Amino acid sequence: MAKKGCPIGTILRNGRCVQKRKKITKKYLEDNFLFEKASRTKDGTFKLYQGYFYRHGMTSDKWGGKAIKMLEEQGIKAKLIDTTDSWKAWPKDSYFIAEVKIEE
């Protein structure tokens, strides 16, 4: 419920106008970022996937840094937990995977 005089995008919480929090879901990450695929684990971390055919100098660590930077540019604080290079021989798909924890 919005308090009279609260700016758009804020809600009333404990008598004060505060910024609404974005609910971060798998679908939100796939729809709003260049992540090819996203998955959420039971402990609340997200795995963000970026497919590749040729690496062109990219590594899983570079991909993890890029994923965190993309999230932070949208105001989402995240911590990089782990990165993985899931390489498979052609014609199967290979992925760089960044596991991140979204900080509320």
Each domain of the chain, given as residue ranges in start order, spans 22-102
Separation of alpha carbons 50 and 86, rounded Å: 10
Nearest to 52 by CA among 86, 21, 11: 86
In which band, very low, low, confident or very high, does the pLDDT at 32 lie, cut at 50, 70 and 90? confident
Half-sphere exposure of 60 (CA within 13 A, CB side): 18
Tokens at residue 63, please? 């991909």
Q: Look over the chain and give the mean of its residue pLDDT values, rounded to a whole number.
A: 82
pLDDT tens-digit series, residues 11-30? 777 777 776 666 777 777 77
Q: What pairing do the DSSP bridges indicate for beta strands 16-19 and 37-40?
A: unpaired
Tokens at residue 56, please? 């062109």
Percent of the chain past pLDDT 70, that is, above it, reads 87
